[in-house]
């Protein structure tokens, strides 16, 4: 296999997307491409830190690549079958890999029936991704405790039900996480869905399993600290929490910069600087949410399920809700927090949300707001015209 000679450009990626029967939606450039004089294996190893935040964390690289190659090799004369949401997401992940790893598409397609070598390449990438995610998880295990702030306007109720917040048991920064999650009043308050009242009765029902927690429900830690979420306006304060911004800075600028001001860095270079990342996209924000949630949980090992909570459902729900102008406004806020400047970037293409959820409700409320604005503008125009005519 010869060393890559150049980078895959937008026209090539667009052609591959058209072969798949889908409109070309090229993902945003995450970095200045890595030097193409390096052997492919070194390029692959160097891509892990860049890819691990934007590839779905619970999908195997081999699955992504096999689907991407299959779609690229499909006869363009064949009628394009209707694809599932999962297949569309796989294709989007394939395009991201092809943009970040120079000549990756040609290399993988060029292997033809040599599936053994293709699988070996995917195994190398997967190991790198797992290592990079593991580094984030281990680093956040201790430090995320510094990012948790009891909401002052909504104190965690104590067992007696009075208005004074209880003493929150200190959580261990090392070793077991048994004192986190739904075994601690602070993390319970942050992890529970916003649709439930923050009462001791609710906490007990969650711990007893009477109120199961799902990945399609929005937890309190995703909202602005101290606010009471309005069920009729769930967009207000959404993804504006201290813990989310601090976790994003921790991952991309390093632990010493996490509690500093927007764009402020400190100490040695973080992942973003080391890997040329200058802007986040929807998948980055979803990854941050998963890491923050895992850090606060009592779950010891990183996997897709935490009881009834499905991290894959949660990840894709966040990605899906970041579509449109409202979603871009949120991404801009994260770019400001991490880099100090808003980045006007194209976002990666996203598939429709699966089934009704808290995130669907939020999106429906956004659509209703936009419709009301249009209706009000039309009414104002009509009134102005009528006034002019008289």
- pLDDT per position as a tens digit, 206-218: 999 999 999 999 9
pLDDT reading at 343 higher than 90: no
Tokens at 92, concatenated: 């989007």
pLDDT reading at 35 higher than 50: no
- State which residues form the domain around 85: 10-142
Asked if residue 219 is part of any domain, the answer here is yes
Structure-model confidence comparison of residues 313 and 26, the more confident one: 313
Same domain, 224 and 357: yes
- Alpha helix stretches (DSSP H) within the chain: 10-19, 40-51, 61-73, 85-100, 104-110, 115-143, 185-191, 200-208, 242-253, 271-274, 282-296, 311-321, 324-339, 358-389
Which conformational region is residue 128 in: left (phi greater than 0), alpha (psi within -120 to 50 degrees), or beta?
Answer: alpha
pLDDT over 90 for what percent of the chain?
44
Asked if residue 238 is part of any domain, the answer here is yes
Asked if residue 295 is part of any domain, the answer here is yes
Last residue of a domain, one of 118, 142, 166: 142
Same domain, 295 and 340: yes
User: Helix 242-253 vs helix 282-296: angle between axes, to the nearest 10 degrees?
Assistant: 110
**Average pLDDT in the 71-99 region?**
85
Give the list of residues 6+ apart from residue 379 with CB closer than 8 angstroms, or none: none
> Alpha-carbon torsion 271, 275, 279, 281, what sign?
negative
Q: How far is CA 327 from the centre of its chain?
A: 12
Give the list of residues 6+ apart from residue 166 with CB closer than 8 angstroms, or none: 156, 157, 158, 159, 185
Same domain, 257 and 120: no
**Average pLDDT in the 298-304 region?**
92
Say what the pTM is: 0.77
Element at 306 (helix H, strand E): strand 305-306
d(CA 141, CA 144) in angstroms, rounded, equals: 6
Last residue of a domain, one of 95, 112, 142: 142
Structure-model confidence comparison of residues 33 and 202, the more confident one: 202
pLDDT value, residue 11: 41
- pLDDT per position as a tens digit, 158-197: 445 454 554 566 787 777 899 999 999 899 999 999 999 9
Asked if residue 378 is part of any domain, the answer here is no
For the chain, how far is it from start to end, CA to CA, in angstroms? Answer: 79
Asked if residue 353 is part of any domain, the answer here is yes
Domain count, the chain: 2
Same domain, 310 and 203: yes
DSSP 41: H
Same domain, 300 and 330: yes
Same domain, 138 and 167: no
Same domain, 134 and 262: no
**Average pLDDT in the 77-106 region?**
87
Contact 252, 273 (CB under 8 A): no
- pLDDT per position as a tens digit, 54-76: 988 899 999 999 999 999 888 76
pLDDT reading at 19 higher than 60: no
Asked if residue 59 is part of any domain, the answer here is yes
Same domain, 197 and 134: no
Q: How far is CA 319 from the centre of its chain?
A: 6
Q: For residue 37, what pLDDT band results from cuts at 50, 70 and 90?
A: very low
Residue 36, classified by CB atoms within 10 Å of its CB into exposed (0-12), middle (13-18) or buried (19+), is: middle
Same domain, 133 and 211: no
d(CA 183, CA 28) in angstroms, rounded, equals: 41
pLDDT value, residue 26: 32
Structure-model confidence comparison of residues 274 and 338, the more confident one: 338
Same domain, 189 and 325: yes
pLDDT value, residue 332: 94
**Average pLDDT in the 344-362 region?**
52
pLDDT value, residue 23: 32
Same domain, 222 and 288: yes
Asked if residue 389 is part of any domain, the answer here is no
Same domain, 88 and 167: no
Q: Which of 78-82, 126-130, 290-294 has the highest mean pLDDT?
A: 290-294
- pLDDT per position as a tens digit, 134-154: 999 999 998 999 998 644 444
Asked if residue 302 is part of any domain, the answer here is yes
Last residue of a domain, one of 89, 117, 142: 142
Q: For residue 87, what pLDDT band results from cuts at 50, 70 and 90?
A: very high
């Amino acid at each position: 296999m010869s060393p890559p000679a150049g980078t895959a450009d937008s026209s090539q990626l667009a052609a591959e997307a058209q072969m798949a029967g889908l409109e070309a939606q090229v993902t945003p450039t995450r970095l200045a491409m890595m030097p193409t004089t390096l052997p492919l294996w070194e390029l692959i190893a160097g891509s892990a830190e860049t890819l691990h935040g934007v590839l779905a964390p619970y999908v195997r690289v081999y699955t992504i690549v096999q689907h991407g190659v299959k779609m690229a090799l499909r006869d363009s004369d064949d009628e394009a079958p209707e694809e599932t949401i999962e297949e569309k997401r796989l294709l989007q992940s394939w395009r991201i890999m092809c943009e970040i790893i120079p000549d990756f598409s040609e290399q993988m397609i060029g292997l033809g029936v040599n599936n053994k070598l293709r699988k070996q390449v995917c195994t190398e990438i997967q190991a790198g991704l797992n290592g990079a995610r593991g580094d984030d998880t281990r680093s956040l295990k201790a430090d995320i405790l510094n990012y948790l702030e009891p909401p002052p306007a909504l104190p965690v109720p104590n067992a007696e039900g009075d208005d004074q917040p209880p003493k929150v048991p200190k959580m261990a920064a090392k070793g077991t996480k048994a004192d986190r999650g739904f075994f601690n009043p602070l993390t319970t308050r942050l992890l529970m869905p916003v649709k439930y009242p923050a009462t001791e009765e609710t906490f007990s029902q969650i711990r007893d399993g009477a109120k199961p927690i799902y990945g399609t429900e929005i937890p309190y830690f995703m909202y602005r600290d101290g606010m009471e979420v309005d069920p009729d306006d769930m967009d207000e304060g959404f993804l504006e929490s201290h813990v989310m911004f601090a976790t994003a800075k921790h991952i991309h600028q390093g632990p010493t910069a996490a509690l500093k001001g927007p764009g402020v860095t400190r100490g040695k270079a973080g992942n973003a600087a080391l890997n040329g990342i200058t802007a986040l996209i929807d998948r980055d924000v979803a990854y941050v949410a998963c890491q923050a949630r895992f850090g606060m949980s009592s779950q010891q090992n990183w996997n897709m399920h935490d009881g009834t909570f499905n991290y894959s459902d949660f990840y894709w729900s966040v990605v899906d809700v970041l579509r449109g102008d409202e979603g871009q406004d949120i991404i801009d806020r994260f770019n400001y927090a991490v880099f100090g400047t808003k980045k006007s970037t194209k976002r990666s293409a996203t598939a429709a949300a699966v089934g009704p959820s808290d995130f669907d409700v939020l999106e429906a409320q956004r659509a209703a707001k936009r419709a009301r604005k249009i209706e009000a503008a039309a009414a104002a125009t009509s009134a102005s015209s009528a006034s002019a005519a008289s």
